[in-house]
Structure 1
Amino acid sequence: MKLKVRFLDWILLKNYMAVLTIISVFFTLCSFFISIPSNRKIAWFIVLLGLFLAIYIYMWFRANLLDRVTLKVNNSTVDVKVGDVFDQRGLKVIAFNEYFDTLVDDVIISTTSLNGIYINTNVQDITELDRLIAHDEHVRDNFQGEDLHRQKGKRNRYRLGTIFKHHDFLLTAFSKFDKDNRAFLYMNDYINFLMNFWNEVDIVYNGRSISIPLLGSGITRFKEYDAITEQELLELLIWSFKTSRIKFTYPSKVSIIIHESKKDKINFYKLKTLV
């Protein structure tokens, strides 16, 4: 077990004091009806002290083992949990680059990325997918230019956050590419992506639940901000949903899916303080 919550974490202490208050009230009421002999009061005090310490240690371990948390954001349910985005029900978000490239060759798209896995396992006809994207009216409305210098991959570039709906998947233009085909973003690009992304989701989700991987936690490089953590990316994703004012009415909800390999980098307990 990796310790993500410090032993004297202030959020944990605050919640512990709330529990302690309830227990203290219970024992105070009991003291009115039960008389403790004076020669046993010290022993009872030690027992209670041990009980209170055991409760705190239990809460601390539980906070560190937490791998799922449900939040209420703008009256919408946001479920943050460990899992595989491909196993989720409803709509599933897959991050593409700004060209909507589909060439999985470990140069343009890595075979081990969600993007590569999606194309290799869920797309039967890549040529047809390319045609659908290129002729989609909404995608074309978000066209931002043509990069004639590109030697591999597509050349038409689209606004970050643009979504193309393909069956149960929402393909979104997430990252920029440099001349060496390395995915990157500046932090303001990431913020702008999130704002436009939620606006696009509001257009296409049609009352269905949506599952989102932790966008940016893969091989995307953040220019001028190399030290960003998975925790910070997750908190930004939740913050952007909160500020977007989009509402998912029951039974639809938003699920943010954390890959098993990333779960030790996420403090699920801390997320409760974001809303």
Structure 2
Amino acid sequence: MRFKKKVNFFNRSLLKEWLTFLSPISVVVTCISIAISIPDEYKLWTLMLILFFFALIYFILWVRANLLDERKLTINNSTVTIKVGDVFEESGLKVIAFNEYFDTQVDNKIISEATLNGIYLKNMIQDVKVLDQQIEQDEHLNSDGIKVGYNETRSRGKKAKYRLGTIFQHGEYLLTAFSKFDNKNRAYLQMNDYINFLLNFWNEVDIVYNGRSIVIPLLGSGLTRFKKYEMITDQELLELLIWSFKISKIKFTYPSTVSIIIHESKKDKINFYKIKEQTNGL
């Protein structure tokens, strides 16, 4: 297992966890020292052994904090799990991010075959034309406020444009309009678009999930361009996703849960210990 330092050695929360862990041990050591008289010539060695033991515990806690690849949180009385994995191998309704046109053309121009979107269309859909027809005729997608425009100037891909956050359910997959496209078919978002997407997305999830678990990839990680926010990190995207779930007030009652799946290639960019630090009060 490759070790990557994510948590500072003198992290305040880690120190607090260490002190909490030591409290009962210190009580036991104190009781033993009262009951057993240690000869003077061994007192220094005993003290050094105890200090070494305490330092070893801290070191183990620090290593564990850096190696974490899963966290379980309780938010709005719902269980939210953040973990490394493969979206397609999880059970539940799996979210797949599409662009605002629900394009299905995997040609490495509109949709890259290396993206989750491209993998889904190539491996999980037998007939793309049938999917296109279902999207075009879907009652929800054709309702007021969902279809927000028609782009006649597009030379490639579809022309009907949908509100960000809109969900089309296709079997056990929730296809969601996530990113905008510029005139060169490049995905992008403004930060306010991303926030609006999250709020609309959770509202739509609340309508369709019907007591089932939801599996979500790290939305926004990868090729999507955040205009004016070139340096936004995967950690920040994850924290925004968790924050948006909190304020949505959706409650997933047991046994349904929310899982946020981090791809193996992204795990070194996620500080799982920090997630717990920042959400202790949720």
TM-score interval (norm. to shorter) = over 0.9
1:129-148 equivalences in 2 (<5 Å): 129-141=131-143, 142-148=146-152
Could you tell me how far 1:29 is from its partner in structure 2? 2.0
Tell me the equivalent position of 2:245.
241
Tell me the equivalent position of 1:221.
225
Q: Distance in 2 between matches of 1:74 and 1:224?
A: 32
The question of 1:269 aligning with 2:259 is answered no
In structure 1, stretches of 5+ residues that fail to align are none
Of 8, 11, 14 in structure 2, the residue corresponding to residue 9 of structure 1 is 11
Could you tell me how far 1:121 is from its partner in structure 2? 0.4
CA deviations 1:225-244 (Å, max 9, x no partner) are: 01000000000000100110
The question of 1:43 aligning with 2:45 is answered yes
Q: Distance in 1 between matches of 2:154 and 2:160?
A: 10
Tell me the equivalent position of 2:214.
210
The one-letter code matched in structure 2 to 1:164 is F
The question of 1:88 aligning with 2:90 is answered yes
The one-letter code matched in structure 2 to 1:148 is E
Tell me the equivalent position of 2:101.
99
Tell me the equivalent position of 2:64.
62
CA contact (8 A) 1:11 1:270 kept: no
CA deviations 1:199-258 (Å, max 9, x no partner) are: 000000010011000000010000000100000000000010011000101111000000
1:250-265 equivalences in 2 (<5 Å): 250-265=254-269
The one-letter code matched in structure 1 to 2:214 is I
Could you tell me how far 1:34 is from its partner in structure 2? 1.6
CA contact (8 A) 1:78 1:253 kept: yes
Tell me the equivalent position of 1:157.
161
Tell me the equivalent position of 1:171.
175
Q: Distance in 2 between matches of 1:21 and 1:102?
A: 58
Q: Distance in 2 between matches of 1:127 and 1:262?
A: 33
Equivalenced residues, count: 275
Q: Distance in 2 between matches of 1:36 and 1:137?
A: 81
CA deviations 1:28-52 (Å, max 9, x no partner) are: 1222322212221111110011001
Q: Distance in 1 between matches of 2:99 and 2:15?
A: 43
The one-letter code matched in structure 1 to 2:66 is N
Could you tell me how far 1:4 is from its partner in structure 2? 0.6
The one-letter code matched in structure 2 to 1:203 is I
Per the alignment, in what secondary structure is the counterpart of residue 138 of structure 1?
Answer: coil
CA contact (8 A) 1:175 1:184 kept: yes
The one-letter code matched in structure 2 to 1:29 is C
Could you tell me how far 1:266 is from its partner in structure 2? 0.3
Of 31, 34, 49 in structure 2, the residue corresponding to residue 32 of structure 1 is 34
CA deviations 1:90-141 (Å, max 9, x no partner) are: 1100000000000000000000000000000001111110111111111112
Q: Distance in 2 between matches of 1:59 and 1:78?
A: 23
173-182 or 5-14, which deviates more:
5-14
Q: Distance in 2 between matches of 1:34 and 1:121?
A: 69
Could you tell me how far 1:17 is from its partner in structure 2? 1.2
Identity of aligned residues (%): 63
The one-letter code matched in structure 2 to 1:127 is K
Per the alignment, in what secondary structure is the counterpart of residue 173 of structure 1?
Answer: strand
Q: Distance in 2 between matches of 1:34 and 1:271?
A: 44
The one-letter code matched in structure 1 to 2:167 is I
CA deviations 1:39-92 (Å, max 9, x no partner) are: 211111100110011000000001111101111111100010000000000110
